[in-house]
Structure formats: structure tokens, C-alpha cells
């Protein structure tokens, strides 16, 4: 088993006043040649946006873009005609494909919105753009892995154009569970949203990340009550 550990404080950081953003991988003005991507996982941004502020209309193409609100509400609008609010307990995905324009704003004036924005390289380019949003918190079980994303439109959670599986885990202190990878050649990037956990001898604190590859299974143990996101992705980039 091969692992790569990213401490929370080692992430790139940009504070624009209205936006406080931490970058696990190189993004915008943060560049680290050792941290461009983990397999097909290209971006993992941990963002806090002030009230009534946000990202105005901007373009994307050929990327699978996932947003997971942690606190508050995001207001989404795009060139496909989708408009709506994404709240804590939901997940949103866009397949940018041939190209889209979209905006994401804090839906509230009086409180910040905190969310994860994740980009995954697709396994096929120039697909028809698509948008999907689902509630996930009602399905999440304590001390188990709950799938929130997969390659299969008929499976649990949202789907993307990639052989990727995301799971959310809400573990109470002292519990552990084995995770078995879905596909040979995949790896898993673990991100501790809150709490404290351990894989093997590696302790993971809040907002730490751990990339795991060259194995078909591992055991995740919660040292405190924890919320943990597991992102299984192909390690080989699309040709």
C-alpha cells in the first residue's frame, strides 16, 4: 500500500476577503509541482464565502465538477437554464463537457456558506453538459460508508463520467470499517471534514488528507466522532 499525507496546514491558502479558500492541490495562484492531482482527482477546494458574495458567471469545459455544502446554502445558475439552491446535506455535480457557463453565490446575506468544490478529470471529452443535484444526508448511516457518487446513473447518489466512487462516512469514536476498492488501478483520497481518524499508523486530524493507492482495501478508524469523505478515483490520467 502506498500513501501520501497532506496535513491541513500544508494546503495552499488564499484569502480574498469575501472568499477564504484552502487548496489541497495546485489551483489559481497556488502552485506546487508535487501537488497537481491525485490520479484523476484534480481539485479539492475548501471554501468559505461571505454573505451575498460568490463566483460570478464563468466558463468550464471537460471537467466533472462536484460541490458539497458543509454549512449554509449555495445559489446556482448556469447556461443550461438550471437555477436553484444547494444546501447542507446535498451534493451537486456538473459535467462541463463541451462547455458551460455557471455562477455560484452565497444564497444568504447574513451568514457565510462553507463548501467543498471538487474537480475530477472525465473519462471522455466533449460530452453533452449536464447538471444533477441530490439530497444525501437522509441516506447516510452512522459507522458505515454511504455512496454519494458513482459512474452509474442508476446507482446511489449522483453520477459522473469517470470510474469514481465517493462515500461519506459519519463515524463515532472507536469505530472502524474496512473499505474495499471498486476497481483495480484506483486509489482513494480520504479527507477528514471534522474529527480525527486513523489509517494504519497515520493519524488524520480535521481537514487532513491521505491518498492511498496500490491496494485493494484498507481500514479506517475513527479516533473521535468524525465526518469523512472518501474519493475513489482512477490513478491513471485519461489519454
Question: Which residues line the annotated binding site?
Answer: 58, 60, 102, 104
Kindly write down the DSSP assignment for every residue of 179-222, as one continuous string.
EE-SSTTEEEEEEEEES-EEETTEEE-TT-EEEEES-SEEEEEE
The Cα–Cα gap between 137 and 148 comes to: 9
Q: What is the 8-class DSSP label of residue 8?
A: G
Instruction: Spell out the residues 6+ positions from residue 58 whose beta carbon is closer than 8 angstroms to its own.
Output: 101, 102, 103
Q: Which secondary-structure segment (H or E) carries 89?
A: none
Contact criterion met (CB below 8 Å) for 219 and 143: no
Annotated binding site for Fe cation: 58, 60, 102, 104
Amino acid at each position: 500500500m502506498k500513501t501520501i499525507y497532506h496535513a491541513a496546514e500544508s494546503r495552499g491558502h488564499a484569502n480574498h476577503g469575501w472568499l477564504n479558500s484552502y487548496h489541497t492541490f495546485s489551483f489559481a495562484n497556488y502552485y506546487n509541482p508535487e501537488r497537481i492531482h491525485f490520479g484523476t482527482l484534480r481539485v479539492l477546494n475548501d471554501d468559505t464565502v461571505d454573505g451575498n458574495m460568490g463566483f460570478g458567471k464563468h466558463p468550464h469545459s471537460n471537467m466533472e465538477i462536484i460541490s458539497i455544502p458543509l454549512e449554509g446554502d449555495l445559489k446556482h445558475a448556469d447556461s443550461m437554464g438550471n437555477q436553484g439552491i444547494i444546501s447542507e446535506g446535498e451534493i451537486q455535480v456538473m459535467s462541463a463537457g463541451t462547455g458551460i457557463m455557471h455562477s455560484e453565490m452565497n444564497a444568504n446575506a447574513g451568514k457565510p456558506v462553507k463548501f467543498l468544490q471538487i474537480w475530477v478529470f472525465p473519462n471522455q471529452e466533449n460530452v453533452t453538459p449536464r447538471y444533477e443535484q441530490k439530497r444525501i444526508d437522509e441516506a447516510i448511516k452512522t459507522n458505515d460508508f454511504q455512496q454519494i457518487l458513482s459512474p452509474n446513473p442508476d446507482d446511489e447518489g449522483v453520477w459522473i463520467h469517470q470510474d469514481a466512487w465517493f462515500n461519506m462516512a459519519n463515524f463515532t469514536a472507536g469505530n472502524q470499517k474496512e473499505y474495499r476498492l471498486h476497481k483495480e488501478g484506483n486509489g482513494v483520497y480520504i479527507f477528514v471534514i471534522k474529527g480525527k481518524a486513523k489509517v494504519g499508523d497515520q493519524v488524520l486530524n480535521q481537514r487532513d488528507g491521505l491518498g492511498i493507492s496500490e491496494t485493494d482495501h484498507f481500514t479506517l478508524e475513527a479516533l473521535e466522532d468524525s465526518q469523512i469523505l472518501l474519493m475513489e478515483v482512477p490513478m491513471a490520467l485519461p489519454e
